């Protein structure tokens, strides 16, 4: 974290007007089978997740409503929670989804915050969302919040207005009706931006929220890579994003965090299961098949636990699997200067920020000494780093073609944990695929 970001985070950190520190995962609704819904619910529970935020852009299509029902059935059976994020690309007015929302808010699996069903959105802050009122604020107030209250079901409304920027007057002048807000775009550097993800918009929104007794939800994500068509072909740097975001969140201690995402394969930031059935009619599988991201699960529980304990640094993050060392690493499988001559989409926007790095996080149990981590790429040794008890992040440059291996060894040279990428790094590929290969150490 940059010094100025850390100073700002320290300044705005305060006691929230609300209680509880939930961890959510953004969950894209597609056609997902009942066994897969149940597996997602059980896996999220095991990680320490409080609820899935269900991104839904239609409440009429059977493929969507069927999956929602299956998720609620699984959640109710396993004491897990769910809430809705209404994706406003699919609605021109809240009256299109209010009845559907009303049909679920009394479900025992619906997530409540401060005793109220929590509701969020994706987008909805722009001028086209006035819903016949004089302002966007009044539109949401009269057409959603008051309608739900009049039905006897007042909600806790924390939208992600990703279509507008944040400012110091977000809750006083722009949207005073909100109970809180989520800073979606703050989870990554901008397209074409290098370096760490800045926290300027996070600190602005957190300060604005707490000064108005509102709630702020912060986003955490590994990267963003989309390669669908000419208008959906971009890369937002992730080589050193997730591990830096951990420290930013712990330092700022927002009221809630939203992990982006559990299963959005289209943007490559899925950290949960990516099932084949919702992708059957899409080209997304061309850059996500065989790119399993569940290796992140080695390090996420420690982060969630540290956040919930109120720790303000990563120092207390230790293995959660009962072992002395636990960790994960990630990297691209096409070199930054690699070629993909047969790809009609060509290289993604933002490709100049792609780096030939192997990055990762190693958690070391208290009392363990003399450990080090080494990464190799093909026959090339990328580097070795000594490890301390607690949280360690590494990022080795110079990745080249061949298989990437990462190994933690003790002072006697014996291997403690290690991992190898199943997909070798190449300098030419059928498509310009800059998804991450994510490998858990074992």
What three-state secondary structure class fits 383?
strand
CA–CA separation, 243 and 252 (whole Å)? 15
Q: What is the pLDDT of residue 83?
A: 99
DSSP per-residue codes, 189-225 = PPTT--SSPP-HHHHHHHHHHHHTT-EEEEEE-S-EE
**Residue 355 pLDDT greater than 80, yes or no:** yes
Across residues 93-117, what is the average pLDDT? 98
**Residue 9 pLDDT greater than 90, yes or no:** no
Helices (H) and strands (E) in the chain, counts: 10, 21
CA–CA separation, 84 and 90 (whole Å)? 14
Per-residue pLDDT reduced to its tens digit, 205-246: 999 999 999 999 999 999 999 999 999 999 999 999 999 999
- For residue 261, whether the previous peptide bond is cis, meaning omega lies within 30 degrees of 0, is yes
The b-or-e profile of 242-270 (16+ CB within 10 A means b, else e) is bbbbbbbbbbbbbbbbbbbbbbbbbbbbb
Q: Which domains does the chain have, with CATH numbers?
A: 3-312 (3.20.20.80), 325-440 (2.60.40)
User: Band of the pLDDT at 12, cuts 50, 70, 90?
Assistant: very low
Q: In the chain, pLDDT over 90 holds for what percent of residues? A: 94
Q: What pTM was computed for the model?
A: 0.95
Q: What is the pLDDT of residue 14?
A: 36
The residues pairing with 404 across neighbouring beta strands, listed in sequence order, are: 377
Per-residue pLDDT reduced to its tens digit, 372-412: 999 999 999 999 999 999 999 999 999 999 999 999 999 99
Q: What is the pLDDT of residue 16?
A: 36
Q: What is the pLDDT of residue 20?
A: 81
């Amino acid at each position: 974290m940059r010094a100025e970001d850390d100073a700002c985070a320290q300044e705005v950190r305060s006691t929230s007007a609300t209680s509880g520190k939930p961890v959510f995962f953004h969950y894209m609704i597609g056609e997902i089978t009942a066994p897969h819904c149940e597996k997602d619910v059980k896996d999220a529970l095991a990680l320490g997740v409080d609820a899935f935020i269900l991104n839904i852009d239609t409440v009429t299509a059977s493929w969507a409503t069927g999956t929602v029902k299956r998720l609620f059935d699984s959640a109710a059976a396993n004491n897990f929670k769910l809430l809705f994020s209404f994706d406003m690309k699919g609605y021109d007015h809240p009256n299109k989804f209010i009845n559907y929302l009303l049909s679920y808010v009394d479900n025992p699996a619906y997530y409540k915050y401060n005793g109220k069903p929590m509701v969020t959105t994706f987008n909805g802050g722009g001028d086209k969302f006035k819903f016949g009122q004089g302002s966007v604020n009044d539109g949401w107030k009269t057409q959603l919040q008051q309608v739900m209250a009049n039905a006897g079901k007042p909600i806790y409304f924390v939208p992600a207005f990703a279509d507008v920027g944040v400012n110091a007057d977000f809750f006083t002048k722009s949207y005073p009706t909100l109970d809180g807000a989520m800073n979606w775009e703050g989870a990554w550097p901008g397209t074409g931006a290098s370096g760490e993800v800045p926290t300027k918009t996070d600190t602005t929104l957190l300060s604005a929220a707490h000064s108005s007794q509102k709630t702020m939800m912060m986003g955490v994500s590994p990267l963003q890579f989309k390669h669908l068509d000419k208008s959906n072909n971009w890369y937002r740097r992730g080589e050193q994003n997730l591990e830096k975001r951990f420290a930013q969140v712990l330092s700022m201690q927002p009221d809630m965090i939203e992990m982006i995402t559990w299963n959005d394969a289209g943007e490559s930031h899925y950290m949960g299961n990516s099932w084949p059935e919702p992708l059957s009619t899409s080209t997304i599988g061309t850059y996500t098949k065989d790119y399993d991201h569940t290796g992140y699960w080695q390090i996420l529980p420690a982060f969630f636990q540290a956040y919930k304990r109120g720790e303000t640094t990563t120092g207390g993050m230790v293995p959660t699997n009962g072992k002395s060392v636990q960790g994960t690493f990630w990297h691209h499988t096409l070199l930054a200067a690699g070629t993909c001559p047969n790809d009609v989409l060509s290289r993604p926007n933002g490709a100049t920020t792609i780096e030939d790095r192997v990055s990762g996080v190693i958690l070391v149990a208290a009392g363990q000494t003399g450990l080090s981590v080494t990464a190799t790429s093909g026959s090339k040794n990328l580097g070795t780093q000594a490890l301390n008890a607690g949280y360690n992040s590494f990022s080795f440059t110079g990745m080249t073609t061949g298989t990437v291996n990462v190994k933690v060894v003790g002072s006697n040279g014996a291997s403690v944990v290690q991992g190898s990428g199943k997909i070798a790094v190449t300098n030419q590929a059928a498509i310009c695929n800059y998804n991450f290969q994510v490998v858990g150490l074992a």
